[in-house]
Structure formats: C-alpha cells, structure tokens
Amino acid sequence: MTMQSLSVTLGRIVEEEEALNVDELSRLCAVEQSFILELVQEGVLESQGAAESRFVGRSLRRARLAVRLRRDLGINVAGAALAIELLERIETLERYQDSFPGGAR
C-alpha cells in the first residue's frame, strides 16, 4: 500500500466591502507597495481613510487587472489606467444593452 500526501491550501474570500491596507493589497496582487501607490497617484485606485490608506470596493479587481496589463502586455501605469477605464465603460454599456428585452441595440 502506498502513502499519498495530502496538500491543504488555506485562504480567505475577500469581499468588495472589506477594507484592505496598502500592505494587504500589495500581497494579494503579489506586487511591491510602490506599484500600488503608483496606481493611486494615477487614479486607478482610490484610497479611503486619512491616517492609513484603505482600499474598498473594486480596488482589488482593478489592481489585479493593472498587474496583468503590465506583466502580460508591458503597459505602464498610465496606460493601465486608460485601459481599465475603457474596459469598465464597455462593461457598463453591455449591461445597459442587456437590460433591454431581446438585447435590443
């Protein structure tokens, strides 16, 4: 009889309402804190809170998308900001179109 090893991965579900600080957001995105701060300066991410930057809502999704754009396509932070804005506008328009019966355009 052979022994099999069992691997267990633990994690947590991050909801959109949960506030994350810069350190947590950078760890979840596997990037340096300086990249997160660049995203804030470029307007990709909005921080809340005076003493310590806190990120809520769509911040994790936007940060991960910016990381993928930089890694996969070589897009800089300004380009990522523009691409994310345009992608979100497309999503909004598609949801709007889908709200009509039969998906009328």
Rounded to whole angstroms, the Cα distance separating 85 from 44 reads 8
Please state the φ and ψ torsions of residue 82, each to the nearest 5 degrees. Answer: -65, -45
Read off the DSSP letter of residue 48: B
Pairing, β 54-55 against β 20-21: antiparallel
Work out the average pLDDT over 52-77.
91
Terminus-to-terminus CA distance in the chain, angstroms?
63
Is 36 in contact with 3 (CB distance < 8 Å)?
Answer: no
At 13, is the secondary structure helix, strand, or coil? coil
- Does this model's pTM top 0.75? My answer is no
pLDDT for position 98: 84
pLDDT digits (tens, 9 = 90+) for 67-103: 999 999 999 999 999 999 999 999 999 988 888 776 5
pLDDT digits (tens, 9 = 90+) for 19-42: 888 999 999 999 999 999 999 999
- Band (pLDDT 50/70/90 cuts) for residue 11 is low
Work out the average pLDDT over 56-65.
90
Q: What is the CATH number of domain 20-100?
A: 1.10.1660.10
Between CA 8 and CA 12, with CA 5 as vertex, the angle to 5 degrees is 5
Find the radius of gyration of the CA atoms of the chain.
18
Residue 12 corresponds to which amino acid?
A: R
